[in-house]
Amino acid sequence: MTRADELAAGLAAVEERVARACEAAGRDRSELLLVAVSKTWPASDVVAVAGLGVHDFGEARDSEAVAKAAEVASATQAPPRWHHVGRVQSNKAAAVASYADVVHALDRARLARALSDGAERAAREVEVLVQVSLDGDPQRGGAVIADVPALASLAADLPGLRLGGVMAVAPREGDPARAFALLAEVAEALRADHPQATTVSAGMSGDLEQAVAAGATCLRVGTALFGHRPPING
Ligand SMILES: *Cc1c(COP(=O)(O)O)cnc(C)c1O
């Protein structure tokens, strides 16, 4: 199998899972955005998957992502939309704001301000999702639920940012369905104050079915599409 065949088969398998999950949940595929998480994979893979009709790609490390986005831009007519799904150190915020259209891991006020400053300097507007910690474990990133409203309001007010919604990674322990149900409650509460913040980013290769069932609007899928990453890059 060529790499192009592998990627086509990976995408078809993911779309099959998404279609089945939508059917089981009584949802329409058009309610879901698939972000192909291309971290560790080369720009040529992004170009190939974009050629299959995927418009949204996710990265987790700013240095890798900035270089890859430039490479992809020079190889394609219409550049894809880039999503930064990984944690962001405040001193990397300007680099992230320079390439990413959507940042999924906003988890603190300082980062919101740094991203907004970076976006303004780059004359861009960056969409942000507030990452919610569903188990209160700060190691996995995310704001604790009690801090979400203030962080969301700050993001909505900052000039370089647009508040898009919420994001979460299922906790290592426990049932992802319960975690995503909690995220759905947080998302609903957020929409009461910010009706435009409709994105619920949840679900990865291992738990996309549970995310679709719980009402996610955005799936972040890497391994099931591209294959297994070298373990060092997580
Ligand atoms: C790497 C990553 C993904 C993709 O994970 P897979 O299990 O490979 O599908 C999704 N979300 C975040 C935040 C990630 O870092």
pLDDT exceeds 90 at position 108: yes
Residue 150 has a pLDDT of: 98
Smallest CA-to-CA distance from 14 within 41, 36, 30, 46 is with 36
Residue 136 has a pLDDT of: 80
**3-state class of 220 per DSSP?**
strand
Mean pLDDT in residue range 175-180: 96
Residue 232 has a pLDDT of: 59
Distance CA 120, CA 143 (A): 24
pLDDT exceeds 90 at position 233: no
6 Cβ contact list (under 8 Å, min separation 6): 227
**3-state class of 173 per DSSP?**
coil
Mean pLDDT in residue range 104-114: 98
Q: 88 in ligand 1 pocket by Cβ < 6 Å?
A: no
Instruction: State pLDDT tens for residues 80-99.
Output: 999 999 999 999 999 999 99
What is the chain's mean pLDDT, rounded?
Answer: 96
Tokens of 127: 């969409």
Tokens of 13: 């398998």
CB atoms within 10 A of CB 36: 28
Q: 204 in ligand 1 pocket by Cβ < 6 Å?
A: yes
Q: 87 in ligand 1 pocket by Cβ < 6 Å?
A: no
Task: Locate the ligand 1 atom nearest the alpha carbon of residue 220 and give its number.
Answer: 10
Q: 36 in ligand 1 pocket by Cβ < 6 Å?
A: no
CA of 56 to the centre of ligand 1 (A): 14
pLDDT exceeds 90 at position 231: no
Q: How confident is the model at residue 15 (pLDDT cuts 50, 70, 90)?
A: very high
Distance CA 128, CA 130 (A): 7
**Percent of the chain's residues with pLDDT above 70:** 99
Q: Judging by beta carbons within 10 Å of its beta carbon (0-12, 13-18, 19+), is residue 97 exposed, middle or buried? A: buried
